[in-house]
Amino acid sequence: MSTLTEAPPPLSPTAPEKKPPRRRGRWTPYWLLLPGLLWLLVFFALPMIYQASTSVQTGSLEEGYKVTWHFATYWDALSEYWPQFVRSVLYAAAATILCLVLGYPLAYLIAFRAGRWRNLIMILVIAPFFTSFLIRTLAWKTILADGGPVVGALNTLHVLDVTSWLGWTAGDRVLATPLAVVCGLTYNFLPFMILPLYTSLERIDGRLHEAAGDLYARPITTFRKVTFPLSMPGVVSGTLLTFIPAAGDYVNAELLGSTDTRMIGNVIQTQFLRVLDYPTAAALSFILMAAILFMVTFYIRRSGTEDLV
């Protein structure tokens, strides 16, 4: 921006006596940011303050709620609902890993091997978004129905005996088990993994692969030393985009799960709408936010990609 102020005076002879160049640029970025900042203020900062306030209030619907700085709500909520917290993190982590395992090869294929099919495959990845999230999740109930062909096949192959033994499923069914919830999460958030992976893989210069080959790297070594490190920004943003919403999700656990697969999102929903315990619901939301923030910060530090995301 400083180059603009130091630009040589215009050569045009028609305007010899020009005003000194305007000091443009100093405030411009802030003006441009204003709409975004206002949006953040109204739809993020204010609700956060309101929520924070709610979490330290006590009272009831009839008597109204007053701020009493009752921080014990946080401790009570955490000691009561820690299993659901742990479960949310485990399920979200499992779904993220599954998304990465499934999404990476697909993103790789689209980026390097798909050729003229690239656009078609991309559309296939995005197409499910044209249907409602709820409808897609409900469709899984039909696919995984107890008497359906999928469960029948898994039973014939004795796969469900193994998962049952591991505690992932119960008896000879898939629905209303942890496995169903994790599969639902994986399915619903897979595109959030594939898209960032694809963007960062697609940017890799094909000549780097040739160079690695010229230097006698085997394909696997090329992948390990060149492709994967260069795709790290995609891996990091993909895992974040998958993990964060998955940890707070409650639709999958509600529709595909059972009483022992309820996640923290379900608890917050129940507390807020059913039990009408607004302080506990607000406190749980804050604990979830803090936990995710903490884990994400740790993760970014560890993966050393602070500058990449």
Partner 1 sequence: MEQYEPDRLTPAQVAAMRRSLRNGRAAMTRRSLLRASAGGALTLGGLGALSACGIPAAGKTEGGTSAEDHSAEEKTVSFSNWTEYMDVDDSGKHHPTLEAFTRRTGIKVKYTEDINDNNEFFGKIKPQLAAGQDTGRDIIVLTDWLAARLIRLGWVQKLDPSNLPHAYANLSSQFRSPDWDPGRAYSYPWQGISTVIAYNKKALDGVEVKSVSDMLDNPKLKGRVGFLTEMRDSVGMTLLDMGKDPGKFTDDDYDAAIARLQKAVDGGQIRRFTGNDYTSDITSGDFAACIAWAGDVVQLKADSPDVDFVIPDSGYMTSSDNLLIPNKARHKTNAERLIDYYYEPQPAAELAAYINYVCPVDGVQAELAKIDEDAANNPLIIPDQAMQAKSHAFRSLSAKEETAYEAQFAKLTGA
Euclidean distance between CA atoms 51 and 272, whole angstroms: 12
Nearest of 129, 127, 110 to residue 118 by alpha carbon: 110
How many chain residues interact with partner 1 (CB under 8 A)?
64
Instruction: Report residue 63: phi and psi, to 5°.
Output: -90, -5
To partner 1, the closest distance from the beta carbon of 218 in angstroms equals: 25
Site string (98-117) toward partner 1, x via CB under 8 A: --------------------
Report the residue from 131, 162, 205, 210 that binds partner 1 according to the rule CB under 8 A: 205
The residue (of 97 and 291) whose beta carbon lies closer to partner 1 is: 291
> What is the rounded CA–CA span in Å between residue 22 and residue 19?
8
Tokens 């080959």, residue located: 213
Query: Does the protein bind partner 1 through residue 61 (CB under 8 A)?
Result: yes
Please state, in angstroms and as integers, the Cα–Cα distance from residue 187 to each residue in 65, 101, 102, 181, following that order: 41, 12, 10, 10
Choosing from 15, 34, 38, 40, the residue that interacts with partner 1 (CB under 8 A) is 40
Among 11, 22, 259, 302, binds partner 1 (CB under 8 A): 259
Cβ neighbours around 153 below 10 Å, total: 11
- Binding partner 1 (rule: CB under 8 A), the pick from 39, 43, 50, 71 is 50
- Give the DSSP per-residue string, 200-239: HHHTS-HHHHHHHHHTT--HHHHIIIIIHHHTHHHHHHHH
What minimum distance in Å lies between the beta carbon of 52 and partner 1? 6
Among 155, 258, 303, 305, binds partner 1 (CB under 8 A): 258
170 touching partner 1, by CB under 8 A: yes
Task: Give the relative orientation of helices 46-55 and 278-303 as an angle to the nearest 10 degrees.
Answer: 120
Task: Count the neighbouring beta carbons within 10 Å of the beta carbon of residue 234.
Answer: 27
- 257 touches partner 1 by CB under 8 A: yes
Rule CB under 8 A: is residue 79 a binding residue for partner 1? no
> Between the CA of residue 130 and those of 138, 169, 245, 251, what are the distances in Å?
15, 31, 19, 18
**List 6, 17, 62, 214, residue binding partner 1 (CB under 8 A):** 62
| Cβ proximity to partner 1, 171 vs 304, nearer residue | 171
Q: Least separation, in Å, of the C-beta of 279 and partner 1?
A: 10
Read off the tokens for 261.
């697969």
Using CB under 8 A, pick the residue from 120, 126, 157, 275 that binds partner 1.
275
How far is 191 from 174, CA to CA, in rounded Å? 23
Task: Using CB under 8 A, list all residues that contact partner 1.
Answer: 1-2, 25-26, 29, 33, 37, 40-41, 45-46, 48-50, 52-54, 56-57, 59-67, 69, 80-81, 84, 138, 141-142, 145-147, 170-171, 173, 175-176, 203, 205, 255, 257-262, 266-267, 270-278, 307
